[in-house]
């Protein structure tokens, strides 16, 4: 029998995950909830999912798993609610903006023996998976130094920034997870800096729009991360790992993969405009991995501890940026 899903939150990422669930033959999208009725009804109409309340979904014995695409400040309480209700949970990142709250939430997940996957979609991007495979297969020797570049085409609206937790917890958290994923473990220290270079109104919201971090591992490994909320040439997503026997890199993906050469030089079509188009395959792969894990596959999915790890790095990075000092990362 297919695994019966409910989606909570029918916004930007909710629509992406609804499509992935509906496209998987081992799953059925049975229910949807969003307090904005038009958002829920759009998914309901498209996939035949029933519109139900949060309480009805939690109590339903015909729902096996939920996908939480709700605003970040609802994640921890909803993970706890559905874990206690015996549902498997896929939750978008981050679990919460406070590591103490995440730890309390993960205790409930453990006590209830619930399955929890955290939405670090970049682990499922075919290009980044290729870099990871090159490392795991030993093709570049021991990984020593990494460079992760992650630039958004433009800043999100002020309302989003206010609730987001700031650039380290909202945006760079993906890169922290990618660094742990590629290097194969947690760094022990971070040095970070942040500034406002693109839009002065971001400073009034208490955030940065430009940030850098250097993570260091106990064995001397290093990863350098660069984030900007502005890239006039599109959504810039690159990863490179240098090892003792070589280097593996994932360049930017172009939706149209051509180049034109003339006497004036080379031109290529633009990059993807943002995550919704750049990470289509990654989002589908991660939901498919969740469904496979629920079916008993042992492929490895990012779990609650991975969500906590990335947040612990983000908390240390924020402290480092504020104090201009290197900060040890809690475990």
The answer to whether residue 249 forms part of the interface with ligand NAD (CB under 6 A) is no
| Least Cβ distance, residue 16 to ligand NAD (angstroms) | 8
How would you classify residue 300: left for phi > 0, otherwise alpha for psi between -120 and 50, otherwise beta?
Answer: left
Token readout for 154 is 């433009």
Among 23, 35, 107, 305, binds ligand NAD (CB under 6 A): 35
Beta bridge partners of 214: 191, 224
Task: Give me the least distance between CB of 8 and ligand NAD, in Å please.
Answer: 4
**Position among 3, 6, 10, 186 found at the interface with ligand NAD (CB under 6 A):** 10
Q: How far is the CB of 202 from ligand NAD (least distance, A)?
A: 17
φ, ψ of residue 136 to 5 degrees: the values are -65, -30
Return the residue of 39, 147, 196, 281 that touches ligand NAD, per CB under 6 A.
39
Nearest to 208 by CA among 220, 192, 223, 221: 192
What distance in Å separates the CA atoms of residue 51 and residue 7, rounded to the nearest whole number?
10
Should residue 121 be labelled a site residue for ligand NAD when binding is judged by CB under 6 A?
Answer: yes
Measured from each CB, the residue nearest to ligand NAD is 11
Q: Does residue 70 interact with ligand NAD by CB under 6 A?
A: yes
Q: Is the dihedral of CA 121, 125, 131, 134 positive or negative?
A: positive
| 43 is an interface residue for ligand NAD by CB under 6 A | no
Shortest Å distance, C-beta 135 to ligand NAD: 23
Instruction: Give the three-class secondary structure for 112.
Output: helix
69 near ligand NAD, rule: CB under 6 A = yes
Could you tell me if 302 and 296 are in contact, meaning their C-beta atoms sit under 8 angstroms apart?
Answer: no
Three-state SS for 54?
A: helix
Q: Tell me which residue of 138, 230, 139, 223 sits closest to 185, measured CA to CA.
A: 223
Q: How is residue 232 written in tokens?
A: 């006039």
- CA pair distance 309, 219, nearest whole angstrom: 18
- Does residue 74 bind ligand NAD (CB under 6 A)? yes
Least Cα distance to 213 among 279, 304, 105, 310 occurs for 310
Q: Give the interface segment with ligand NAD, choosing from 4-12, 143-151, 189-197, 310-318 (CB under 6 A).
A: 4-12
Q: Is 17 in the site for ligand NAD (CB under 6 A)?
A: no
In the complex with ligand NAD, which residue's Cβ is closer, 97 or 134?
97
- My answer on whether omega of the bond before 318 falls inside 30° of 0, hence cis, is no
Residue of the chain from 5, 6, 14, 31 that contacts ligand NAD (CB under 6 A): 14
Q: Is 141 in the site for ligand NAD (CB under 6 A)?
A: no
DSSP state of 130: H
Binding segment (CB under 6 A) for ligand NAD, from list 3-11, 23-31, 199-207, 265-273:
3-11
Handedness of CA 86, 291, 69, 128 (dihedral sign): positive
Q: Using the rule CB under 6 A, which residue among 23, 26, 71, 255 binds ligand NAD?
A: 71
Q: Applying CB under 6 A, what is the total number of residues that bind ligand NAD? A: 23
Query: What's the closest the beta carbon of residue 297 comes to ligand NAD, in angstroms?
Result: 21
* 34 is a site residue for ligand NAD (CB under 6 A): yes
Can residue 72 be called a binding residue for ligand NAD (CB under 6 A)? yes
Q: Which residues bind ligand NAD (CB under 6 A)?
A: 8-14, 33-36, 39, 54, 69-72, 74, 92-93, 119, 121, 275
């Amino acid at each position: 029998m297919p695994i019966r899903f409910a989606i909570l939150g029918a916004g930007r990422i909710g629509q992406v995950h609804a499509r992935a669930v509906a496209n998987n033959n081992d799953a059925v999208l049975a229910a949807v909830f969003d307090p904005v009725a038009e958002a829920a009804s759009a998914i309901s109409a498209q996939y035949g999912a029933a519109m139900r309340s949060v309480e009805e979904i939690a109590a339903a014995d015909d729902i096996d798993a939920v996908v939480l695409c709700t605003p970040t400040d609802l994640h921890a309480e909803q993970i706890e609610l559905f874990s206690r209700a015996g549902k498997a949970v896929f939750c978008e990142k981050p679990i919460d903006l406070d590591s103490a709250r995440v730890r309390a939430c993960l205790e409930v997940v453990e006590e209830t023996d619930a399955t929890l996957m955290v939405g670090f979609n970049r682990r499922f991007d075919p290009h980044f998976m290729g870099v990871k495979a090159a490392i795991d297969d030993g093709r570049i020797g021991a990984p020593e130094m990494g460079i992760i570049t992650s630039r958004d085409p433009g800043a999100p609206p002020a309302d989003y920034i206010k609730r987001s937790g700031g650039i380290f917890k909202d945006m760079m958290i993906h890169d922290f997870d990618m660094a742990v994923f590629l290097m194969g473990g947690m760094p022990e220290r971070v040095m970070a800096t942040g500034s406002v270079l693109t839009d002065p109104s971001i400073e009034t919201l208490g955030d940065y729009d430009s940030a850098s971090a250097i993570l260091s591992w106990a064995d001397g490994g290093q990863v350098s991360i660069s984030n900007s909320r502005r890239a006039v040439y599109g959504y810039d997503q690159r990863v490179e790992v240098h090892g003792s026997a070589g280097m593996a890199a994932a360049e930017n993906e172009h939706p149209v993969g051509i180049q034109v050469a003339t006497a004036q030089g080379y031109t290529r079509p633009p990059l993807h405009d943002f995550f919704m188009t750049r990470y289509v395959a990654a989002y589908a792969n991660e939901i498919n991995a969740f469904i496979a894990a629920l079916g008993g596959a042992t492929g490895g999915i990012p779990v609650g501890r991975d969500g906590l790890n990335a947040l612990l790095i983000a908390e240390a990075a924020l402290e480092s940026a504020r104090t201009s000092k290197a900060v040890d990362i809690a475990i």
